[in-house]
Structures are given as structure tokens and as C-alpha cells.
Structure 1
Amino acid sequence: MAYFNDSSKVLMCPGHTDIAPYVANLTSSYSDKSNESSVVATSVFMLVLAAVFFNLNLFSRISNTSAVLNPTARLILTSAVSLFLPVMSYLFSEAKNTPDAAGASKVEEDLPVRARLILTWMLLAELLRKNVEAIPTTAAMQKGYSIIIANANAVAWLGYLVFFNLKGAGRVAVFGILWLLCAAKFVQRVAFTEIGKRSFAYGKNARLLSSYMAEMVKRPPHVQTPTPSQRLEMCNYVVMGEENLMLKPGSHGYELDLDRLTATYGDHIGDHIVTVGKIWALPQQEKKPRLKRLKRLCLSFALFKQLRPRFELLRAATKEETDHCRDLIFQGLCSHDQTDLEVEPGVALFQVLKDEISFLSEYYHSVHPVVLASPYFFVINYITFPVVVFGLCVMTVALAGDGDMPEAIASIGRDNYAISSGIFTLTKCLWRNFFHTPAAFFVIVDISITYLLFIAFVYEQVSEYMVFVFSNWFMVSLLCNYAARPRWRDSTTYRGILRRMSWISSKLSHPSRITLKQFSVLRVSWLSMTLPTTFLPRQAKSSIMERFRLAAYGHDGSPAPPSNGQYVIDHWRRHTDLSCFCESKSVVEVILIWHIATTILEIEYPGRHKAETSSRLVATRLSKYCAYLVVIHPELLPDDREGTERVLEDMKRDLKVAVGGWWAYYTAPERERYNKMMGAPLPDCPADNIHNVVHKGTKLGRKLMEDCRRDERPVWELLADLWVELLVYIAPSGRDEHVKGQEEALVLGGELVTLVWALATHTGVTRPPPTSVVVEDVEGASRPSILA
């Protein structure tokens, strides 16, 4: 690569003849045959890494205000940056020992241009790394101090490279400021972690809430038969300020000062203790649509706090607690006057559940400090802290110039050619010579890497600020301060700010949209990232709510627990002959059988009539979503994972036979698969004697097609009810491994089944206990055995 320093190929930049020596110095490492491959590989790697950072921070967040990053992207970036520091340190050492080309100034001899460029990348990458790591706010999430020590070592090493290798005052000032930002970010993250895990409002909050709820439910209600509005206005679920109730740790939880909560409705609770009831009892004139959305958001926040003990494996809610929460949800929120809610009860309920799961997701996986959001934290972290850092930067510049501030500022341009010549002028010149001079190519690559890293860092700071200000956490904090302080409620300025911020936040977050991944066994794709996404229909929200209400209260005071579809078949008396398709010990088999039948019906009857559109949407979308859970997230289903995988593998094997072999299985379009399945002969025996899931699903599909020829509407209504029943059936679970699976799904934003699981946990709705049968032991004695 000697042509990089070929004097016959010079840069043509009229008026900037000093650019050529700078480019020669920057490309001197490429002309060294001993390390040219490593230098080129490093530039390519850094270009890819910078482009990923740039795309992740810019384009992926234009319509997303969540503080949670995609776990795959976060893992890749964290691993890449972890390997990046030692590799770049080695290349820095190599570049440091490679002298600049002829023409370098005396000041430039202290550290070659290429080494300074690599050091710039290392500092910018370290700044960006802090923004892809989750902030642990509990001791369990932190898992020791190994990560903090590793980050401290990285910051200390970069400080050594900056202050023990650079000699020019201007360079020490510029690189010292970048290092100071790295150190400030590190100190900031450590402060977030330590404050969070030691605070009763954050890290210790789950155990505190367990003690609070155990005492709160013991208090008798003030009204024997409250109206829906009264239930919400008397609700003593704490939104914020419960740390002010703590007296001291006890042998079984914390001892609380519950006397600070009033025993009569409507009395003053305290400026620092805000409950759901206090939020919902705000004056009538404040019941604007956006403030009603904030009230539901505060209810979500209170429910999120009640769900945390389950994720941290402290204890399950007692029957008294679930009964209280069940009445609050179904006889309070879902029975509330629709004109006051401004939305249908089912939509309002799922807004509350979605916001609750969003709080959980951001609490455990946030890369921004939204968990600590409050007006006080905003002033400290986004106003005071930047002022302090700016003061330290000014001090760094002064120390670099030995106290001579004017000389230090002047040396910044004198010692850094890219700054003195103008970075845009340099870039314009290089682009002009991109095809004329070979050396310009790699210089453009190197400068582009620096551009991308710097833009990603600046955008990340702006993004963090916007995510924080318009996060649900900050909205809840603002409303709690608004409810607790009468003088804030009397301020028209504060009310106006609160309404406008609430409007922007609601537009960015889309609280009513619940997305569903769609999977079909008759399609080619089996990869999660390639599956289509749709929204949960409005009718499905209402149907799920009503099914839970039925499971909680029943028709005549006798609850109807969820089933694997048998309850729906019994309810639709004209379809009782379909009950054999629900008779399986494995709910996964039932899901696959009815999914195949629903898919067959969807292809044969593609929704020509508007009359059955809503039921058809519910049936087809929930069918594909449940199949998606079987294939992609078996850990969220009640069956053991190994059993689920066995059923799925058997289904795949039988499906390959049904569609004509492995080639058709992987390449045939949906219509061709459908035709082969419908044309294949089926066993003549009854359905309950068929053990092949594909044959059973096909037989059910043909049966439903016969019913559709007489009347299509009731068939789709039956399927809609059945898929709602199956979703409600698979959601409840109290097993620790199932809770762990739900927690792992939070990093992806939570699944629909996670929302339904949260509703089941709050209301105490469970599946019926497994059936006990009698088996014989080796001595012939009878003993019970659980097979399901």
C-alpha cells in the first residue's frame, strides 16, 4: 500500500495546501506492511460499529419513547464494545510507535495523528457504551460490583492514555474534556445504582409494599356498597410516598405508620403520600380527557408496584388482596361510567395493563434513569449536574494551559489541525479528491467513523432527555405533585404544562395499541423477526375482560374458571360434538388442533361479509398469536417446555408428510399446502381416537367448513369465544419458572399473554387444579397421581 504516500498523487485543495501533510500523517499506518491488514480491519470494524450505534440511536427511536433497547442489539453492542477496548488499546500502541510522515510539526511529534484518532474512537465508544447498559436499581439486579469495577478500570485506563501520552495543551484540553465526560457518565451511573438499591422508594420498595398491602386490606371499607366512582376514590393503593410510612424493619417485613393514612374518606392524607383514591378524587373541573388518561396511568403505577413482589419472588398476594384488587378492577374501573372514562371499559382496562407492563419493563431493563423521575431529580440530573460538568471542563482547559486560560483556548485550534482548519472544510476537500487520490478513501472512512460516533453520542443525550421528560414515570410524578400540593393545583401554568406534556406523551406512546406477532403453520417462515405484526382488536379486549369477570364472579355467584375450550363448547350447545377436539392433557395440542382448523377456515372463507368481520378478526389473530407462543415462547405456556417442544416436533413431522415432503414443507406457498392437506385422506375412526395433531386439526377444519356452508356467522363467533377462552386459560400461573419466563419477556416490551397474566395475578383468577387419577404402585396399593 505504498501508493498512500505517493507524492505524485497529491490532494487538490486550493487555499489549503497544509491538508496534504495531515492526510499523509493519518495514512502513514496504512503504508506499514507489518500492520496494514490490522489497520484496515480496524477501520472496517469501527465503521460497522459506528453505523450500528448511529442507526440504533437515531432511526430506531424516532417513533419510540421507551427507555428499553432491543435485548439482541444491546447484547451485541455490549459484547462488541467490551472487546473493543483491549483491541483498540493494542492498535493504539502500534500507531503510537509508527512515526508520522515527513512534514509533521514539532507539536505533532508527541503523539501521531493515527494514534490520536484511535484514542478519539475509544473515548466516544466508551461514552456510547454507557447508553446500552441497563441501570440496576435493586441489589438482585446489580449482581455484585464486578461490572462497576470493570467500568472503573476502563475509565482509568483511558485517563492514563490521555494524560500520560499527550503533550500539547490544546490536545490535552480536547481529549481531557472527552475523558471527563466518560468519568462523569460513570459516576452518574454508579450514583443511580447505589441510590436506587438503597432507597425504600425503589430498590427496597417491593418488600415495603408487601408489608403495606398486608396491613391495608385489614381495614374495613368506609362504604358497604360503594359505587364504581367511590371504589376508585377510596382506593388506598399507594402511588408515591410509601417510603414516608416506614418506621423500622421488622422480623417479617417492615413496621409501618399507617396512622398517617386517614380512616375516613375524604380527609387529608399527607403532602408526601399519594394514593389512587387521592388521584381519582381530584376536583370535578380537572376531569379533562388527558387528565383522565393520567389517572389511569397512576392506577397502572400502583398495580405495577403490587406486581413487583412476584417478580422478585418475595411472596404471592393473599386471597384478601386479590379479592380487593378484583373488585377495584371489575366493579370500579370496568364498571365506571363510560362517559367519564371516555373509552370502552375493555379498552380502558388494557390501557392500564399495558402501562403497567411498560413500567415493569422499564424498571428492570431501562438504559435511561426514568425510574428515578421526579421534578427534583430533573433539576439535579439535567440542570445542576451539567453545570457542574461544564465547570470541570473549564477547569480541565485551564489546567492543560498551566492556568493560562487564553493561551489554553488558543492552543486548542493550534494543536488540533481538524479544529483549526475546520472539520467541514477538511471533509469537503477529501470528498473532492475521493476518486482522484487513493489516500483520501481511507481518510474519508476514518472521518466518517468519527462523525457517526459523535452524532450518535449527541443524539443519545438529546434522546435521553426527551425520553425522560415524556416518560410515563415523569407524568406520574408530576400528577402526584399536582394532587399533593393545593397551590400547584391552583396554578394555571402548571395545569397547562401538565396537559400539554400529557398530550405529547400519549401521542408518542400509543397506549391503546397492543401488538401481536402472527404465526401460521401453513406459512414458510418460522423465524420470529420475519413474522408479521398486527394489533389486538377492540372486541377481543372486551371479550377477555368479560371472560375474566365471569371467572371471578360467575353468572349466579358461582365462578366459571377458565378451561381449555370445553366451557365454550358446552355453552354453544349446537356444537357439543366438537368437545372431543378439546380433550387433551396438553393445552399445546389443543392450540395446534384449533389453529390448524381456524387457518383452514380462514383460507376457505377470506372475510367477504362485514357481518362476521369482528369475530373473524378476533379468532384469526388470537389463533396465530397462540401458535406464535407455542413456537417462539413455549416458556410462557402452562405445559412443561420439553413437553411443548415434543408436541411441536411431532406436529412438524406430520405436517411434512401431509404437504408432500420436506421440500414442499419449506418452499410450498400457503394455498398449495392447504390444497394438499385438504386432499389427503383421513382416518375413518372418531376424532378422539386420532393421535395425529395435523389429522385432527384437518378433520376439525372440514367439520367447521360444513357448518359454515349453512351459516358462517355463528362459526366465527364460536371460534372467537374459544380463542379468548384458550388465551385466558394459558395466562394464569404462579410457578416461579413461569414468572421468570414472563420477566424475560419484559425486555421485549411484554407479550399480550403477559398482560393477561398480570390481570389474572391481580384478580386471583387461576386454572382449575390438575386432574388426579389413581395408579397402582408396585405392591398393588392405590395412590393418587397428578398427570396434568
Structure 2
Amino acid sequence: MDNDKPVCRRDEIRNFQHALNAVLWRNNVLMVMNSTLVASMVVVGATGWRYRHSMVARFISLGATTLFLPIVSYVVSSIGSGNWKADCQDSYVFLILTWTVLVQTIGINFSGIAAVNDGDSQKLGPSIELLARTLWTSYLVVYYYSNNTFSDDDIGPFLSASTFALSVLSFVKITLKFFALEKARRSFALGRNTRLVAGFMEQLHSRQSEDEPIPPPIVMGEEKQQIEERPHGYVIINRAVTNGSLVTTDRVWQLASTGDVLLASRPQLKELCLSFALFKLLRRRFVKCRIPESASTRAFNFLQDVLLGDGDPDRIFRVVADEVSFLGDSYYSSLPACYFGKLLPVLNITVSLSIVTFCLASGVVIGAFFDGAGEDQRNCRPLSCTVLGDYYVGFGSLNFNYYSTLFLLVATILSEAWDVASYICSNWLKVALICSYVTHASWQQSPRVHRWLGGLLKLRIKWVNSCSDEMGQVSLLAPARRQPKTWSLRQKLFCFSDHRRVQHVKVPREVKAAIVEALIGSNESLSSGLVALQNSGIGDAVLWAIQGESTSDVILVWHIATSIVDSRHAASTSSSVDRTVATCISQYCLYLMKAAPELLPDDKAWSKKRYKEVGEEVRHLLSVRRCRWVNYGQMIELLGESSGQDEVVKNGVRLGKQLVELQDGGTVPIWGVLARFWSEMILCVASSDNLKAHREAIARGSSGRIRNAAA
């Protein structure tokens, strides 16, 4: 009986409060910390897959996934803790359980899934661990709600049903991911597509002579044909009796050329289909499918006719950017697999909209019944003694649970809405709609379809661009005309500590045009500037500067020489087209040595070592002036002082002085020679066979359009 209990002393009440407060405060800190991590995952996910592979994003993802289960288990298991020695009324239980389900739902959205190719070692899909966490979370929700430990009977049944529904939907979502992964893996449109395209193209090439037209690449519909497995891949049989569902680039081009209302007025749509077809051909290289030499030659001729025909650099770079974007999505995005076919998009969108609906309803109810101000998380009284007045002691603040849960409700809504919007605005849906339009004659005659498709095909998310239209710039020598740049706090924190900071500039149109011109003139034979020098009239005088086995040393020598020539006219404010091309590509090649040496033909460790050695040598020689910006005379004087300097520095100074003399003589347009040399050099550099490095660069988004176009 309560009357038989002694009155609680002050120290007993103080110890009682301290014990329960400690548990609540630990829970509150863990909830806030995990909510912050999960919200960061939503932000990272909204920026596209290129940022998911950055170091910070991987750290956040690893922290959130690693800490999720311990935090959730600890927080949820604390429900009712201490009740064995206290009589408590809990007001925060339903908020904790809702918060738990929301954390899990966001984690499922962030998990990657890709349609792996046959023969590809990369396996990207939902893990069994994620499924186990989903089941564990669902169990916790069912268990604690079944105990009915919360005190708000008015809203308890609704929140119980809502949270249980969210838990079921999260389980359905992860199940759909597993189903999508398996279906994509077995599909000839995704997982087996590379072998099918390779076999189909080889089949066509073997049946045609060199004089026959180049067969157009496939855009879509190959999975609907009669397919047979052969020694070198899958092939399409009985093409003569196909049902018209096979869409190739020529079908899209022919429809656009007839003045079609939808395609004729939007040439970017057929270019998008071309990008998709080129992506399928490019992916053969990444999975190491056998490509006959004759097929490679004819493919280059096809690119010259279709892609390089009009010579518009902006169009070419746009097509290549979309091609690389498709390639990145196929390896690192959930879009191709989760929204493949007709049923999966409907199911995934339905689940996402259902989650949004329940989140909105839960948010409205929570906001209506709890203002979060002045409410306690728990109201308890000790069982071992009697508190005067027989009242309950309040513990904690419901604000922690209230705002954390509302915050995650908003984050979940945004995450699901983003998931749907990213699909509706994706190029994958655009290509699918265009191909369906091409194969349905009734659509082509319907004004309503024209309006509907026209509006849908205009949708795009501008700030998500997996292939940046920028190029990194690094210079060992900074001419005097370039003044120090004011760096923002973000740049100061994340840029390199030395004076050769990485800058990113928009790729000039002149640079794009020079690379396209060099590619057209290469005739599938790439050289590290040799052809440009031989055709310049000064080849015999400077050919010594490209001799040697190290491409890295050649880049460093010519970069130093280009900087010296640039400093010769540093006072001039005019900048010719050739000068812009030469300096930009020169500094971009040095950027690759600094930031992505694995993309160069040389060994990664060697390129890093040579960049570091030459950079330190140049910095040491220029440090005498205690100035980062020197003019031509000072540069020649300082770089030529040391007799024991690196051979690359000596050769760079020698070549620079030689080019300046030729320039001052007025007989040879040196900037034109340098522009053509660097245009050929970037083509040679981009043709590296390190496919793993290229794929990782695409994942990081560090490859950029300039290198991708050259490759």
C-alpha cells in the first residue's frame, strides 16, 4: 500500500531523476545525431550518383548505415526502461517508433542498385543486411505497439496503423529492389544487353562487305525479338519477321526527316536516342566484349558520318555527355533497374506515393495533437517511496522527439518525391517514350499525344548533371598577367594547400572545336602530338621534346614550354583562339596528373611521382623571388639558374626558349602549333585502356565532358 511507503527524501528524488534523465538524454542525443546523418543522405542522394561516390558522401553513408542498427536498437529498447522501480506514463513512444521506421525508409532509398552485366565483376544491389534491418525494424514496431505502452489513447490507434503501414511499405520497397535486380540481371534490355548488342553487331558486320552502308546501332526493342545464344554472344534471328518493335537510330532519323511534329521541331530528342545507342556500344568495352578490328574501323566511320558530320562541337559534346550519363546510370543508379519495363515503374511510384500520403497524414496528426512546447517525455513516480502530493515527476522534453520525427517526415517526403521526380525527368524515360512513339503510328497522328509527350519530354532537373561541362586547371608556372584569385571559404577548406590550386572553368567552345577537329583529322590513328609537329614546319627542330617512353614527362615539358610562351606576352590582354586552346588543354593535362593520374597512359604511381618532383623543383626555383607570379624574363632567369635541376625542367625551359625565338621570328604561328599539339595530346591521353579508372572517374564525376569526348 502507498500509505505504508516512506516519504521520499530529497536525495532519493534527486537520484531517481538523475537515473531517468540520463537514459532520456542519451536517447535524445542519438536521435538527433542519426536524424542529421539520415538527412545528409537525402541531400547527397538528391545531387545524383556522382556525389554519392565522393569521400564525404561515402563517410556519411558508412556512418549512417553502420550506426543505424545499434542506435535504433538502443533507443527502442529503452522504451519502458526503469519502469521496474517507477510508475511511468510515456508520451514519446509512438514518436520513437515512427522515427525508427522513417530512418529505415530513407536508408532503403539511398541504397544503390544497378543492372549488372553478364561477365561484369561489379555487383551492386540491396544487401541482405538491409533486408535484415528492415525486418528487425518491423518487428520492433509491432512488438512495442502491441504492448500499448504509450499514453495518448486518442491518437494512438491512428499512429499505430500509420506507422505499421509505413513499416510494411518499406518492406515492400526493399522487396521490389530485390525483384528489380534479379529481373534486370536476366533481361536482354539490361543485364544481358551487352552480349546481345555485341553479337548482333558482329552478326551484321560479318554479313556485309566494306562497301555496304554501316548498320545503324540499336536504340531499344532488342529484348522483344527472337534471340538465340551463340559462341560469341546472343544474336537476333529471323529479323525479316520482326514485329517492328526494334528501334534503331535510322528509324528515329527517318521519322524526324519526314517533318514529324514531335521530332522535327526537337532535334535534341533524336540526339538523345543516338547517345543511348552509343552508350550500348560503349558498354561493350567496359565489360570486355570482343570487338573485331573491322567492326571498330567501321564504327569510327559511323561516328564520323553521324556524330562528327556537321562539326558542331557543342552538339558533339552534348551527345557524348548524355552517353556517359547513361553509362554512369547503368553502373551506379537505381533508375534503369527499378523502373524497367511497364509494371515496375507503376509499383515503385505507387509505393512512393503511398509513403508520402502516410507521412503527410502522420505529420498533420502529430502537429495537431502536440505543439511540442513544455511537454515532458515521461511522467514518473518512484515505487519505493511516496512523493508528497502523490504527483508525477516530469522528465525530458518532448521537443527532441517531436522535431526529430517531423524533420524525418519532411525528409522522407522529399526523398520519395525526389525518387519519383528523378524518374519522370530522366533521360531513360525520355528514350523509352520516344521509342514507343516511333513504333506506334497512332501516336504520331494524335495531337493529344503530341501535347502530352511534348510537355513530358521538356521536364528535366537542371542542377543534376553527372557529366560536368567544366575542366580542371592546374599550372606549375603562373604568368604575371594572372592576378591572385579570391578564394571562398569552401575553396580554402577543400582546395589543395599549395599555390597550384585546382580551378575549374567552363570548357571554352574553342577548345571543344579544336578537339573535334583533331579527332576528325586523326583518321582513327592517335599520336601524342607527332602529326601536329610534322605538319607545322618546325617538326625537325622540336621533335626531340616528344621522344621518350613517359607520356607524363612529355606533358610536363610541353606544359612548362607553353607557360613560358604564354608569359612572353603576359602583358597583352588579347587572347587568340589558339592561345586559349593551348593553355587550357595544357593546364587540364596537368590537372589530370595531379587529380586523376590513373587516367593517364603511364603508371599511376609514376605520374604522381613525376608531378610531385617537377612541381617541387619549380616551386623551389621560383621561391627565390618570394612571388608566385613572375614575368618571362624572371621565369627564364630563375628556372635556368640551377645546374642540378630535373631534366624535365631543363627540357621545358629549352623548348620554351626555342618556341619563343620562333614566335619572335614571325615565320611560324607558334600558338597554332601548340593548339594542334595539345589537341592531339588530349586524344592520346584519353584513349587509356584503364577501364576501371575510367569507370571510377565517371562515378566521381571528375572525368568531365572534355576527356569523355576525347575518349
Local SS of the residue matching 2:372: helix
Q: How does 1:55-74 map to 2 (within 5 A)?
A: 55-56=43-44, 61=47, 69-74=52-57
Q: Which amino acid aligns with 1:334?
A: L
Of 103, 112, 117, 1:125 maps to 103
2:469 matches 1:514: yes
Local SS of the residue matching 1:239: strand
Deviations along 1:146-198, one digit per CA (max 9) or x if unpaired, are: 95321121011111111111234344313212212321221121122111111
Aligned residue in 1 for 2:128: 149
On the 8 A contact 1:630/1:644 being kept in 2, the answer is: yes
Q: Which moved more, 1:693-702 or 1:291-300?
A: 693-702
Q: Which moved more, 1:88-97 or 1:358-367?
A: 88-97
Assess, with a 3 A threshold, how the Cα gap between structure 1 residues 647 and 281 changes in structure 2: closer, same or farther.
same
2:539 matches 1:587: no
Task: Provide the rounded CA distance (Å) in 2 between the counterparts of 1:347 and 1:158.
Answer: 50
Aligned residue in 2 for 1:220: 208
Q: Which moved more, 1:526-535 or 1:127-136?
A: 526-535
On the 8 A contact 1:370/1:468 being kept in 2, the answer is: no
Aligned residue in 1 for 2:487: none
2:273 matches 1:298: yes
Aligned residue in 1 for 2:252: 279
Aligned residue in 2 for 1:721: 676
Q: How does 1:617-628 map to 2 (within 5 A)?
A: 617-628=580-591
2:231 matches 1:207: no
Of 207, 220, 228, 1:248 maps to 228
Q: Which amino acid aligns with 1:535?
A: K
Task: Provide the rounded CA distance (Å) in 2 between the counterparts of 1:29 and 1:703.
Answer: 84
Aligned residue in 1 for 2:348: 381
Deviations along 1:424-458, one digit per CA (max 9) or x if unpaired, are: x336999xxxxxxxx99975455443333222221
Aligned residue in 2 for 1:311: 286
2:54 matches 1:91: no
Report how far residue 480 of structure 1 moved. Answer: 0.5
Q: Which amino acid aligns with 1:381?
A: N
Assess, with a 3 A threshold, how the Cα gap between structure 1 residues 695 and 272 changes in structure 2: closer, same or farther.
same
Task: Provide the rounded CA distance (Å) in 1 between the counterparts of 2:441 and 2:34.
Answer: 55
2:421 matches 1:421: no
Unpaired segments ≥5 residues, structure 2: 1-15, 149-156, 377-393, 479-491
Assess, with a 3 A threshold, how the Cα gap between structure 1 residues 146 and 284 changes in structure 2: closer, same or farther.
closer
Report how far residue 613 of structure 1 moved. Answer: 3.3
Assess, with a 3 A threshold, how the Cα gap between structure 1 residues 124 and 695 changes in structure 2: closer, same or farther.
farther
Assess, with a 3 A threshold, how the Cα gap between structure 1 residues 97 and 569 changes in structure 2: closer, same or farther.
same
Report how far residue 719 of structure 1 moved. Answer: 2.0
2:315 matches 1:348: yes
Of 518, 523, 532, 1:547 maps to 518
Report how far residue 569 of structure 1 moved. Answer: 2.1
Aligned residue in 2 for 1:748: 700
Local SS of the residue matching 1:254: strand
2:175 matches 1:187: yes
Task: Provide the rounded CA distance (Å) in 1 between the counterparts of 2:622 and 2:373.
Answer: 59
On the 8 A contact 1:516/1:534 being kept in 2, the answer is: yes
On the 8 A contact 1:619/1:720 being kept in 2, the answer is: yes
Task: Provide the rounded CA distance (Å) in 1 between the counterparts of 2:529 and 2:558.
Answer: 10
Report how far residue 674 of structure 1 moved. Answer: 8.3
Aligned residue in 2 for 1:398: none
Assess, with a 3 A threshold, how the Cα gap between structure 1 residues 279 and 512 changes in structure 2: closer, same or farther.
farther
Report how far residue 713 of structure 1 moved. Answer: 9.6
Of 426, 435, 456, 1:471 maps to 426
Task: Provide the rounded CA distance (Å) in 1 between the counterparts of 2:17 and 2:63.
Answer: 24
Local SS of the residue matching 2:127: helix
On the 8 A contact 2:185/2:192 being kept in 1, the answer is: yes
Report how far residue 239 of structure 1 moved. Answer: 0.8
Assess, with a 3 A threshold, how the Cα gap between structure 1 residues 364 and 568 changes in structure 2: closer, same or farther.
same
Task: Provide the rounded CA distance (Å) in 2 between the counterparts of 1:285 and 1:144.
Answer: 44
Task: Provide the rounded CA distance (Å) in 2 between the counterparts of 1:699 and 1:318.
Answer: 44
Q: Which moved more, 1:643-652 or 1:246-255?
A: 246-255
Task: Provide the rounded CA distance (Å) in 2 between the counterparts of 1:713 and 1:427.
Answer: 79
Aligned residue in 2 for 1:773: none
Report how far residue 511 of structure 1 moved. Answer: 10
Q: Which amino acid aligns with 2:686?
A: A
Deviations along 1:41-86, one digit per CA (max 9) or x if unpaired, are: 52552354145235435xx64xx7x787444344223312222223
Aligned residue in 2 for 1:565: 529
Task: Provide the rounded CA distance (Å) in 1 between the counterparts of 2:348 and 2:571.
Answer: 54
Assess, with a 3 A threshold, how the Cα gap between structure 1 residues 142 and 31 changes in structure 2: closer, same or farther.
farther
Unpaired segments ≥5 residues, structure 1: 1-27, 262-268, 339-343, 395-408, 431-438, 554-560, 759-788
Task: Provide the rounded CA distance (Å) in 1 between the counterparts of 2:589 and 2:542.
Answer: 20
Local SS of the residue matching 2:228: strand
Local SS of the residue matching 2:208: coil
Q: Which amino acid aligns with 1:751?
A: G
On the 8 A contact 1:347/1:538 being kept in 2, the answer is: yes
Aligned residue in 2 for 1:483: 438
Task: Provide the rounded CA distance (Å) in 2 between the counterparts of 1:176 and 1:739.
Answer: 46
2:268 matches 1:260: no
Task: Provide the rounded CA distance (Å) in 1 between the counterparts of 2:507 and 2:667.
Answer: 22
Q: How does 1:689-768 map to 2 (within 5 A)?
A: 691-709=646-664, 714-734=669-689, 738-749=690-701, 750-752=703-705, 754-756=707-709, 758=711
Aligned residue in 2 for 1:451: 406
Task: Report % sequence identity.
Answer: 23
Assess, with a 3 A threshold, how the Cα gap between structure 1 residues 752 and 451 changes in structure 2: closer, same or farther.
same
Of 319, 325, 330, 1:363 maps to 330
Q: Which amino acid aligns with 1:244?
A: K
Aligned residue in 1 for 2:40: 52
Local SS of the residue matching 1:638: coil
Aligned residue in 2 for 1:558: none
Assess, with a 3 A threshold, how the Cα gap between structure 1 residues 50 and 151 changes in structure 2: closer, same or farther.
closer
Q: Which moved more, 1:494-503 or 1:38-47?
A: 38-47
Deviations along 1:572-597, one digit per CA (max 9) or x if unpaired, are: 21464333222221010111122233
Deviations along 1:679-717, one digit per CA (max 9) or x if unpaired, are: 3262799xxx98532333234344444555566993322
Report how far residue 477 of structure 1 moved. Answer: 0.6
Task: Provide the rounded CA distance (Å) in 2 between the counterparts of 1:50 and 1:707.
Answer: 61
Aligned residue in 2 for 1:176: 164
Assess, with a 3 A threshold, how the Cα gap between structure 1 residues 350 and 215 changes in structure 2: closer, same or farther.
same
Q: Which moved more, 1:160-169 or 1:528-537?
A: 528-537
Q: How many residues align?
A: 648
TM-score using structure 1 length: 0.73
Report how far residue 672 of structure 1 moved. Answer: 5.7
Report how far residue 482 of structure 1 moved. Answer: 0.8
RMSD: 4.1
Local SS of the residue matching 1:680: helix
Task: Provide the rounded CA distance (Å) in 2 between the counterparts of 1:482 and 1:207.
Answer: 26
Local SS of the residue matching 1:286: coil
Task: Provide the rounded CA distance (Å) in 1 between the counterparts of 2:314 and 2:125.
Answer: 45
Deviations along 1:298-346, one digit per CA (max 9) or x if unpaired, are: 111111111222212232x2122122211211123322xx5xxxxx533
